[in-house]
Structure 1
Amino acid sequence: MPPHAYPPKPRPGDRVAVLSPSAGLPAIFPHVYELGLRRLRDLFELEPVEYPTTRVMNADPRDRARDLNAAFADPSITAVLATVGGEDQVRVVPHLDETVLRANPKPFFGYSDNTNLLTRLFDLGVVAYHGGSVLVHLGRPGSPHPLSMQSLRAALFTHDWHELTAATEYGDEPNDWRDPASLDRPPVMFPATPWSWLGPERVVEGPLWGGSLEVLSWILQAGRIGPSSAYAGCVFVLETSEALPTAVEVYRILRNMGERGLLAGFPAVLVGRPKAWEFDTPLAPEQKREYAAAQRAAVTRALAEYAPDAVVVFDLDIGHTDPQLILPIGGTARVDAIQQRITVRY
């Protein structure tokens, strides 16, 4: 496949678009959102620019797409940041002006439901960035996590190779945004298990593709994934969300991708540390360990059946857990199973 184009990067002092292409949660949690905006200004010296639907819940998909098109078309905007994820960006994608997006490439940052836009930009030949959230990461209670901010800074401002750092602690039990006082105390953190490697000891290099596994399944069902050959040679990225999909569901999604011929084309797979707790599913510590083990077994089973020669790395901090490392979708990754190192080009 031809190499994807890295868009020009912003510089301190630039204007960046802050949009809600999925859920308009800034309307419900303005205190978290405003904290994230302050940190965007103070830590990165970037000037956030809001659009009509940024603080609107349940905005019409056509209006959200209109804001995305406007942000990409505006020459004074040098990056586009999603406030948070959601669940219906699949309805926004049909209204995007692909001519505008292709002609005005800009770094887009988002994850979870924003996998819709990340994969669309991939298909348009533009590198985009899986990770970063104004509410979740910039608005993190207490203070932003240093690893998240280090990765976000590098992804925002550099085109360099960046080695991913394994976290020594992680969190998946966030503070309750409904309580403004919760912003004063950091979230609870736990000792992080190290990365776990599976497969042959070799070095794989290729463009990254993927994102939230549940959202990928929606995109596939909507018929918005190209032929499997278009993704052959990619390093596959997968992580799961606060919906806590069962191991059976995870296996079935991957099985169906395998039947489509997608998995066989991936020489390496990066698997995010699974989030195993949510407010309506407050699993106990042992239940969390069992959930994570079952999900890993499901992924291992599917890859053994459809991509047995792939290099696989588990428990990367690349998804819905805290901290979060940014991945350039369409950008180059080097997965070194000999030295057990992962580097990405931002």
Structure 2
Amino acid sequence: MTPSGSPSVPVYPPKPRPGDRIAVLSPSSGLPGLLPLPYELGLARLEKEFGLVPVEYPATRTMGSTPRQRADDIHAAFADPEIRAVIASIGGDDQITVLPLLDRELIRAHPKPFFGYSDNTNLLAFLWNRGVVAYHGASVMCELGRPGAMAPMTAESLRAALFTSGPYELRPADRVRVVDRDWADPATFAAEPETLPAAGWSWAGPERVVEGRGWGGNLEILSWMLMADLEIQRDPAAYDGCVLFLETSEELPTATEVFRILRSMGERGLLRRFPALLWARPKTWSFERPLDEEGQARYAREQREAVERALAVYAPDTVAVFDVDLGHTDPQLVIPYGGLIRVDGVARRIVVTY
């Protein structure tokens, strides 16, 4: 099932307009069925703040749905001419089992903007290989269902990615959320989450300008795809000149694990293909590992050291930007998967094309 040869140059599917219907799918976990509060809030915001009509599919709220049921939902959403975009409810950990069931020709013939991240890295890479630009970010439960209000930077980025075409300059967040709250507790949604000051981005590597198409996603998910040999180009040259963007999840992989995954990508000949890397601000707290302030700082520092160590060995000429607000961050910037990204190491600017 692994694609061979370089994919065609990705194309941007037509954008929805306010009043259009948008499919809400659970290609991974049917968590909306267990935790309806953030999900219902996210649906309401899609309708009230973005003017879109959310359309659910049979497996959207079903925990334990089969890979076939989820693949059927994806097919139905992409084939329906009245659906103008598709968004994931949330991530999960087994979307890789859905990939072999997808009808490549059906989806290639009906390209639509798809929004999702984390385990949805699977579908994002699948679309990249079909020549379709998609969007890394903005799930219904996390970003749209954020307690109190959407983060303004998130809402602005999502609105631009949904409805507009052309360049959009990313900017660093000045405040970020670190600690999560219980989605099962109605009190969680009475106010916005606490945020802390953020230091902004950090640049490393040569001072030069790189422009290429975005590829990457969640590091842990990509490692599984590499092991399964699914939707990763066998010829590393397929990624020549692309901009790599990577993020880690709330499972808080250790710095050693991060280095080993990057090392494997380096040994495969992948890392050196990317002249620029956007590395996300890492998630440093979870319910399973509620690190204190010192532990959070140490975790972030050790992760960066692991990335720098891998780059020094396998991609020393790569322009790297650390602590970009993408993936498991709040606020979150939407990154075009397959779309153009300009990384200006001289002016310290990042501009994406939505």
TM-score w.r.t. length of structure 2: 0.97
- Counting matched residue pairs gives 346
Alignment-mate amino acid for residue 104 of structure 2: E
Deviation at 1:186, TM superposition (A): 1.2
Matched residues in 1 for 2:313 and 2:131: separation? Answer: 30
Distance apart, 1:58 and its partner CA: 1.2
Taking only the aligned residue pairs, the percentage that are identical comes to 60
Task: Render the CA deviation track for 1:195-224: whole Å, top value 9, x for unaligned.
Answer: 000011110000000000000000001102
Alignment of 1:141 onto 2:175: no
- Match of 2:49, SS state, is helix
Matching of residue 329 in structure 1 with residue 298 in structure 2: no
The equivalent of 2:300 in structure 1 is 292
| CA distance in 2 between partners of 1:219 and 1:172 (Å) | 28
* Secondary structure of residue in 2 paired with 1:44: coil
Shift in Å at residue 228 of structure 1?
0.7
Is 1:41 the counterpart of 2:44 in the alignment?
Answer: no
- Stretches of 4+ aligned residues off by more than 3 angstroms: none
Q: Structure 2 matches for 1:308-319, cutoff 5 A?
A: 308-319=316-327
285-294 vs 170-179, greater mean Cα deviation: 170-179
The equivalent position to 2:290 in structure 1, one of 282, 286, 311, is 282
Partner SS state of residue 65, structure 2: coil
Residue 241 (1) aligns with residue 249 (2): yes
* CA offsets 1:76-123 (integer angstroms, 9 cap, x no match): 000000000000000011111111110000000000000000011001
Equivalent runs, 1:150-299 vs 2, <5 Å: 150-224=156-230, 225-226=232-233, 227-299=235-307
Deviation at 1:3, TM superposition (A): 2.5
Preserved contact between residue 141 and residue 186 of structure 1 (Cα < 8 Å): yes
Q: Residue by residue, what CA displacement relative to the aligned partner does 1:26-79 show, whole Å, maximum 9, x if unpaired?
A: 001112111110100011000000000000001000100000011000000000
Q: In the TM superposition, what whole-angstrom CA distance separates every residue of 1:295-325 from its partner, at most 9, and x where no partner exists?
A: 0000000011100000000000001010000
| RMSD (Å) for aligned C-alpha atoms | 0.7
Inter-partner Cα distance in structure 1 for 2:200 and 2:307? 18
| Alpha-carbon distance, 1:172 to partner | 2.4
Give 1:307's aligned amino acid. A
Alignment partner for residue 83 of structure 1, among 74, 89, 94? 89
* Alignment deviations for residues 234-282 of structure 1 (CA, whole Å, 9 cap, x no partner): 1001000000000000000000000000001000000000000001110
- The one of 90, 106, 117 equivalent to 1:111 is 117
| d(CA) in 2 for partners of 1:326, 1:85 | 15
Distance, in Å, in 1 between the alignment partners of 2:243 and 2:64 is 34
Aligned to 2:309: 301
CA contact (8 A) 2:37 2:184 kept: no
In structure 2, distance between residues paired with 1:32 and 1:324: 17
Matched-pair contact (CA < 8 Å) for 1:79–1:108: yes
* Equivalence for 2:3: none
